[in-house]
Amino acid sequence: MTSLSLKDLTKMPVRLASGHRLCAGCAESIIAKQILMGTEDPVIVSGSTGCFEVSTTIFPYTSWNTPYIHTAFGNGAATCAGVETAYVALRKKGKIADNIKFVNFAGDGATYDIGLQALSGAMERGHKMMYVCLNNEAYMNTGIQRSSATGMGASTTTSWAGSLASGKKEFPKDLTAILVAHNIPYVAQVSPHNWRDTVTKASKGFAADGPSFINAVSPCPRGWRFASEDTISMAKLAVETCIWPLYEVVDGEYALTAESARIADGKAEKKPVLDWIKSQGRFKHLLQDRWEPVVESIQDEVDRRWEKLIKLSKF
């Protein structure tokens, strides 16, 4: 991308059309459109099974104006890597001249859990592809079950909140750090509320000479229990509370970006985790006095991870 002018971006081809069946307020289509604005080259998309796949490709209809491959939960990265490998072979034989990009979209269940082995393998082998996790912090497509991306204290259909339980007992896995440990050229976290930051990072990911990984927070009105019109403000709050810091890792070098850089520099407010908890029905039980230690534990862990990230980053 040579420019991030909003006017220029609106002139780009529409790669994901309207008419899909995602829930009102779902952030996934917003994120995908921002990611796909990161390159002017042709793009081939693979999509792991999940909310995004089933809502955009219900036979005999599709919302995709790109070549699109539906994969199972666990093999999205392998499928995308296979197509990229075929492209490399055909390009060497002179049968393809276009500079084609490859991206796999998947939810957190298909990324953090079921598809982690395939993702790790594709990254380790060095395929020139981008993997985007649409992280709504649970298996939303199959009934709002907890995943290893689900936040501590969240009530889901498999981590109930009740008289003896405070919701999910574990902190979410730091998958972004796991991908950084693969020593790939580009890794980043993004939020749909900041389109400029997201498109910029997508552009870097598509341009990387090797694998890239983008983890996107994707607020889910249905699973998180908030009004559908609040999706973007919810995504922004995730960043402001440092629940979801915005940063990138380029060839192993960390850098905070956008609001997160301003918070670290003292130019913006770091909001308390309690603001995040109060904003969503999945955490409403934590407002009871007996679960105050859980709230304190969440704040402590957010602070610990945030301070670690600041030490790693240049901003």
CATH code assigned at 89: 3.40.50.970
Q: Which residue reads 């889901």 in tokens?
A: 156
Per-residue pLDDT at 214: 99
Residue 102 in any domain: the answer is: yes
Peptide bond preceding 60: is omega within 30 degrees of 0, i.e. cis?
yes
Residue 219 in any domain: the answer is: yes
One-letter amino acid of 298: I
Residue 42 in any domain: the answer is: yes
The domain in which residue 210 lies consists of 6-312
Per-residue pLDDT at 193: 98
Per-residue pLDDT at 315: 59
Residue 1 in any domain: the answer is: no
pTM: 0.96
Which regions of the chain are under pLDDT 50? 2
Q: Following CA atoms 6, 42, 14, 207 in sequence, which dihedral angle do they give, to the nearest 10 degrees? A: -30
Q: Which residue reads 């913006």 in tokens?
A: 268
Per-residue pLDDT at 68: 97
Half-sphere exposure of residue 166, counting CA atoms within 13 Å on the CB side? 20
- The angle that helices 195-207 and 28-36 make with each other, rounded to 10 degrees, is 50
Residue 182 in any domain: the answer is: yes
Other C-beta atoms within 10 Å of 169: how many? 11
Residue 76 in any domain: the answer is: yes
Per-residue pLDDT at 3: 57
Q: Which tens digits make up the pLDDT trace of 108-166?
A: 999 999 999 999 999 999 999 999 999 999 999 999 999 999 999 999 999 999 999 99
Answer whether 140's CB lies under 8 Å from 34's CB.
no
Per-residue pLDDT at 217: 98
Per-residue pLDDT at 12: 85
Residue 213 in any domain: the answer is: yes
Per-residue pLDDT at 13: 85
Tally of domains in the chain: 1
Strand positions, DSSP E, 36-168: 43-48, 68-71, 101-107, 130-135
Phi, psi of 263 (to 5 degrees): -65, -45
Other C-beta atoms within 10 Å of 121: how many? 13
Burial class (CB in 10 A: 0-12, 13-18, 19+), 14: exposed
Residue 151 in any domain: the answer is: yes
